[in-house]
Structure 1
Amino acid sequence: MAIGHALIDLTPLRSSPAFRRLWIGRAFSGFGGQLTLVAVMFQVWHATGSTVWTGAVGLAQAVPLIVFGLFAGAAIDRVDRRKFYLVTTVGQAVCAILLAVQGFFGQLPVIAVLLLVAVQSCFVAGGGPAARTFLPRLLPGDQLAAGLALNRIAFQGAMLLGPALGGLLLGWLGVGGCYLLDAITFVLAFYGAFGLPPMRPDGEVSRPGLHGVLDGLTFLVRSPVVRGALLTDLATTVLSMPISLFPLVNAERFGNNPRTLGLFLSAMAVGGVLASVWSGVFTRMARPGLVMLCGSATWGVALALFGIAPNPWLGLAFLVLAGAADTVSVVSRGTIVQLHTPDALRGRVAAAEQIVGQAGPDLGNLRGGLVAGATSGLVALVSGGLLCVAAVALVGASIPGLRRFSTAASAQSR
């Protein structure tokens, strides 16, 4: 395969000005969001000195996504999705401005800061799924995987660079400066949103309230390919999420060196970025279901091997492999979900996908911690990796349509 063919496919950025503007806006606002996360964690820690309160920051972000996500998805499938996305972007920007004001002119009590974070996450619960519905309208079917890979590398870039830069900016500008920079990035988010065409759902409009939510859940239950894609994601995250185990494994196996611990997280991010840069290798493949299953199984194998690695450098290599496999799986899963979901249901399915992506890792880290507490970090890692491989194999064997799903056949039916 030629090098140019293996590198990330930039065709969506060249061929669709609307996608290009949206990608730029979301890339910068995602980066700003990482600055705010660092600033909130610092502000809460500085005010309380309590890990319970810093842990509550994650709770304030996660609970609204899980509680309101499906109802937001039903609303997205009833209205012009562009207008809905604009409203949620305005809400997020206002919260960022309020955080900046309190950062500069008198910091609020911790509970009020967490409330602002939770309100902002309510808008994210709607804006995230709305943005996921745009790609099939902006890109042809054969460019969807490339568009998702571009979104993935923007997300990983923000996750990799945002916290590091946020730490530097905290020392220079303080928490108010970090919040203000996040607010400024929403200018580019609006640039992307205003460049979108009107996007009313095609087909039957979602029923209001709980009825619409139930219709979306019914589709997930009755669609084996989409259901299998989400179950594969749950298999990888719930059964084998390793983050909570890193401190224990570092203490058990590698002398409790803090530098090694920091490298564990960076290694997974590096693997993800490398897979995104070379995503042309798998985004051009015609069977994303098979690619997803292989990527998910590789994730489990890599984490099991990390658990028994005899030295930290080999362990880091397995974590790089795990991070790359995760990106392959995520991009392929997104391709399957986008191509297999009717437009009228995309908001609800995108909301379910967002909830799975939020809740799965949290549950997986909890599982890993509980197993490690009863046994050891090695047992938790190896058992989780092997359970992941077994679950992925079960999903693949029980849903043959997932293995056989072809982007070529889907494009012909669109």
Structure 2
Amino acid sequence: MTELKRRRLLADTTPLREPHYRRLWMAGIVTVIGAQLSVVAVPQQVYEITGSSAYVGLTGVFGLVPLVVFGLWGGALADVMDRRRLITITTVGLIVTSVLFWLQAAAGVDNVWLVLGLFSLQQAFFAVNQPTRAAIIPRLIPGDQLPAANSLNMTVVQFGAIAGPLLAGVLIPTVGLPSLYLIDSIALLATLWAVIALPKLPPTGHTTKAGIGAVVDGFRYLSTQKVLLASFVVDIIAMVFGMPRALFPQIAHETFGDPVSGGVALGLLFAAMSAGAVMGGVFSGWLPGVRYQGRAVVACIVAWGLAMVGFGVAVGFASPASGPALMWIALAFLAFGGAVDMISAAFRSTMLQQVAPDEMRGRLQGVFIVVVAGGPRIGDVLHGVAAYYAGTAVAAAGGGILVVIGTVLACLAFPIFLRYRVGRS
């Protein structure tokens, strides 16, 4: 393979030459691992307390409401406040929430409603933090480097989503679940260091209040951008119907033989999608060359749905007595799904950052985070209920089938999405 071809295949690291972006990116390597420890710890603690996937699915409700409310409001805040100040405040809030998680777990309170309440508080801070962070990137990086920057960001996030769950699978049986929350609290200090070092990022638009009117203006603008609207619709379809993570504690315990308190299989299930996503990110050098990004997104989401069908089928045939082969097949389907989801997300993020003007970017990033993070929360509820009535295998495979059907219908409703290419709408 020639050097030129290798560069086109491997991830483009040009954005890392910008010192502020590089500092945020490097801090993310540490903090996403800690964050993913909590991603495992919360559903695992709920399952340990209740023994029910339906209660684990209920985390979707407690996460969705603050995500919607504070995601939209936080996006509006990011258009009227200095973004460095806002992201600093919310990072401190995330640190405090993680400490509270650690205290309740270390004290052995075992109150599912306390865990869910703290989860809601954490998601409120997250919902303001993430659209602000995303709106900062185009202020630091030239437009032609945004696909590469988004790919680098997602690769780091997904790397943490591998290391975090695998580390959780080792730490839970050895040092206990409370330690996961404590590590998350400490890791967030790296992000705090990075955001404090950012330059001042004052608003550039004319909006002065982050009220309902500003949020409505964002939705009004979005309604005129059919390509962005379609990108949100197909992602909602993928995450609501095709994200089976609420099933992982039950699958790990009943199908793959983990103890109720969690173990290696649980960590592997949570890490598998991210392992695939990291591989997709490492070999993402070709992404900037794709012109028909809408078609690429649709192809990735259909592939995601089919991967979840395969995962559900593998789980249906597996059992603790069947040996590890079917577990590895199930994990391979999750990994493939993670790879195509990473590619889809990189294109959708780039579409938003390139189409939206800076004065609207915070509000649209708020909608984006509601869709990206809120969709899986609804999916948690639906998968938890479906598993209660039909079992985990049917819930996972059936969701994948609905993803494929829903994506086809979305393409019929938004044909412009298939025609979209870079520089045109």
Residue range with higher mean Cα deviation, 90-99 or 226-235: 90-99
Match of 1:301 in 2: 306
Residues of 2 paired with 1:89 and 1:374: CA distance?
Answer: 39
Is contact 2:163-2:271 (8 Å) kept? no
Q: What SS does the corresponding residue of 1:407 show, helix, strand or coil?
A: coil
Confirm whether residue 280 of structure 1 aligns to residue 285 of structure 2.
Answer: yes
Is contact 2:300-2:343 (8 Å) kept? yes
Match of 2:407 in 1: 392
Q: What SS does the corresponding residue of 1:2 show, helix, strand or coil?
A: helix
Match of 1:335 in 2: 350
Q: What whole-Å deviation, never above 9, does each CA across 1:178-205 have from its counterpart, x for those lacking one?
A: 4443232233112211232222232332
Confirm whether residue 356 of structure 1 aligns to residue 371 of structure 2.
Answer: yes
Alpha carbons of 1:237 and 1:133: their partners in 2 closer, same or farther (altered >3 Å)?
Answer: same
Residues of 2 paired with 1:84 and 1:388: CA distance?
Answer: 36
Match of 2:190 in 1: 188
Match of 1:11 in 2: 14
TM-score (norm 1): 0.83
Residues of 1 paired with 2:43 and 2:382: CA distance?
Answer: 24
Residues of 2 paired with 1:395 and 1:213: CA distance?
Answer: 25
Q: What SS does the corresponding residue of 2:305 show, helix, strand or coil?
A: helix
Residue range with higher mean Cα deviation, 88-97 or 153-162: 88-97
Residues of 1 paired with 2:39 and 2:390: CA distance?
Answer: 33
Match of 1:81 in 2: 83
Match of 2:149 in 1: 147
Match of 2:322 in 1: none
Query: How many angstroms does 1:130 deviate by?
Result: 0.5
- In structure 1, what residue type is equivalent to 2:294? G
Confirm whether residue 291 of structure 1 aligns to residue 296 of structure 2.
Answer: yes
- In structure 1, what residue type is equivalent to 2:127? A
- In structure 2, what residue type is equivalent to 1:121? Q
Q: Quote the RMSD (CA, aligned, Å).
A: 3.6
Residues of 1 paired with 2:390 and 2:97: CA distance?
Answer: 43
Is contact 1:103-1:176 (8 Å) kept? yes
> What is the 5 A alignment of 1:310-321?
312=326, 316-321=331-336
Residues of 1 paired with 2:178 and 2:150: CA distance?
Answer: 33
Alpha carbons of 1:218 and 1:165: their partners in 2 closer, same or farther (altered >3 Å)?
Answer: same
Residues of 1 paired with 2:67 and 2:339: CA distance?
Answer: 26
Residue range with higher mean Cα deviation, 92-101 or 190-199: 92-101
Is contact 1:141-1:407 (8 Å) kept? no
Is contact 2:57-2:246 (8 Å) kept? no
Is contact 2:164-2:271 (8 Å) kept? no
- In structure 1, what residue type is equivalent to 2:5? A
TM-score (norm 2): 0.81
Is contact 2:310-2:397 (8 Å) kept? yes
Match of 1:268 in 2: 273
> What is the 5 A alignment of 1:219-258?
219-243=221-245, 256-258=255-257
Alpha carbons of 1:345 and 1:55: their partners in 2 closer, same or farther (altered >3 Å)?
Answer: same
Query: How many angstroms does 1:129 deviate by?
Result: 1.0
- What are the ranges of 5 or more consecutive residues in structure 1 without an aligned counterpart? none
Query: How many angstroms does 1:21 deviate by?
Result: 0.7
Alpha carbons of 1:396 and 1:213: their partners in 2 closer, same or farther (altered >3 Å)?
Answer: same
Q: What whole-Å deviation, never above 9, does each CA across 1:282-329 have from its counterpart, x for those lacking one?
A: 244233222212111221233345555688365554433222111111
Residues of 1 paired with 2:357 and 2:100: CA distance?
Answer: 38
Alpha carbons of 1:344 and 1:304: their partners in 2 closer, same or farther (altered >3 Å)?
Answer: same
Is contact 1:152-1:276 (8 Å) kept? yes
Match of 2:165 in 1: 163
- What are the ranges of 5 or more consecutive residues in structure 2 without an aligned counterpart? 259-263, 318-324
Is contact 2:57-2:383 (8 Å) kept? no
Q: What whole-Å deviation, never above 9, does each CA across 1:37-92 have from its counterpart, x for those lacking one?
A: 4555666677x455477666555444321232212221221111111111111222
Residue range with higher mean Cα deviation, 311-320 or 213-222: 311-320
Residues of 2 paired with 1:246 and 1:57: CA distance?
Answer: 14
Match of 2:321 in 1: none
Match of 1:127 in 2: 129
> What is the 5 A alignment of 1:190-229?
190-205=192-207, 207-229=209-231
Q: What SS does the corresponding residue of 2:200 show, helix, strand or coil?
A: coil
- In structure 2, what residue type is equivalent to 1:155? V
Residue range with higher mean Cα deviation, 379-388 or 283-292: 379-388
> What is the 5 A alignment of 1:2-81?
2-13=5-16, 15-39=17-41, 48=49, 51=52, 59-81=61-83
Is contact 2:243-2:376 (8 Å) kept? yes
Q: What SS does the corresponding residue of 1:280 show, helix, strand or coil?
A: coil
Match of 2:339 in 1: 324
Q: What whole-Å deviation, never above 9, does each CA across 1:251-310 have from its counterpart, x for those lacking one?
A: 9xxx94437975555443322221111111324423322221211122123334555568
Q: What SS does the corresponding residue of 2:219 show, helix, strand or coil?
A: helix
- How many residues are treated as equivalent by the alignment? 404
Match of 1:405 in 2: 420
